[in-house]
């Protein structure tokens, strides 16, 4: 199924003036924050290649990121939850917190929310959950691109602060190279200590 404004249009027809798509990235990583974005698109928005960020090349994501930011009709809100919050709250609640912050960062409160995935309980905003929404809704797809590019840039910068871990390549995901670096170099302040591969390295011998 193509990525369209079908879900947004249903809310517009019901009287919602501003409909935001919301998505997050980084939930499954071993290091770094979870980052979310909320995006409100205009009624006549169209894009030939915008889709789930996982289906796009890094170069195409960067290009679309720039296009969205340059369009004054597009509203963008970005939120995140850091490693301390992830370890304290758990990754699911931290992801919801990042999405809440993204919605609150929009210039106006949206009338309706389309959120990728399952319903969030509790969550301070009424929302429609759309499973696989980043491949169905253009506003959720836009949010996925904004969140992905934002987080990738953060992890690329982290590679300069913590060289040798390969953050610029794996972006904090638990690849074989990342696990090998963890075993040889140890745990950094960016690593999520509540996640099993990191926690096990911190156990006394």
Can you read off the two tokens belonging to residue 91? 């990754």
pLDDT tens digits for range 20-63: 999 999 999 999 999 999 999 999 999 989 998 999 999 999 99
Quick one: pLDDT at residue 1?
61
101: helix, strand or coil: helix
Q: Is 60 exposed, middle or buried (0-12, 13-18, 19+ CB in 10 A)?
A: middle
Return the CATH number of the domain spanning residue range 6-201: 3.30.420.10
Q: Tens of pLDDT along 89-100?
A: 999 999 999 999
Task: Report d(CA 8, CA 16) in Å as an integer.
Answer: 9
Instruction: Kindly list the domain boundaries of the chain, sorted by start residue.
Output: 6-201
* Calpha distance 164→177 (Å, rounded): 10
The tokens describing 58, both together, are 């890094």
- In terms of Cβ atoms closer than 10 Å to its own Cβ (0-12, 13-18, 19+), residue 137 is buried
Q: Where are the alpha helices (DSSP H) in the chain?
A: 6-13, 58-70, 83-89, 91-104, 138-161, 167-170, 176-185, 196-201
Residue 66 vs residue 203, higher pLDDT: 66
DSSP state of 136: T
What percentage of residues in the chain have a pLDDT greater than 90? 92
């Amino acid at each position: 199924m193509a990525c369209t404004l079908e879900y947004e249009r249903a809310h517009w027809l019901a009287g919602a003036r501003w409909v935001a798509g919301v998505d997050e990235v980084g939930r499954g990583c071993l290091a770094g924050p979870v980052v979310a974005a909320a995006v409100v698109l205009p009624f006549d928005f169209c894009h030939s290649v915008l889709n789930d960020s996982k289906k796009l090349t890094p170069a195409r994501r960067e290009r679309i990121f720039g296009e969205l930011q340059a369009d004054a009709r597009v509203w963008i809100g970005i939120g995140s939850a850091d490693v301390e919050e992830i370890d304290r709250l758990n990754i699911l609640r931290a992801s919801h917190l990042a999405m809440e912050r993204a919605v609150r960062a929009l210039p106006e409160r949206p009338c309706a929310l389309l959120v990728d995935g399952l319903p969030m309980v509790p969550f301070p905003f009424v929302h429609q959950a759309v499973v696989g929404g980043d491949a169905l809704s253009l506003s959720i797809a836009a949010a996925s691109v904004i969140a992905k590019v934002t987080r990738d840039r953060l992890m690329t910068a982290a590679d300069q602060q913590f060289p040798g871990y390969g953050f610029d390549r794996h972006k904090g995901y638990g690849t074989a190279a990342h696990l090998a670096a963890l075993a040889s170099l140890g745990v950094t302040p960016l690593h999520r200590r509540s996640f099993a591969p990191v926690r096990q390295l911190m156990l006394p011998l």
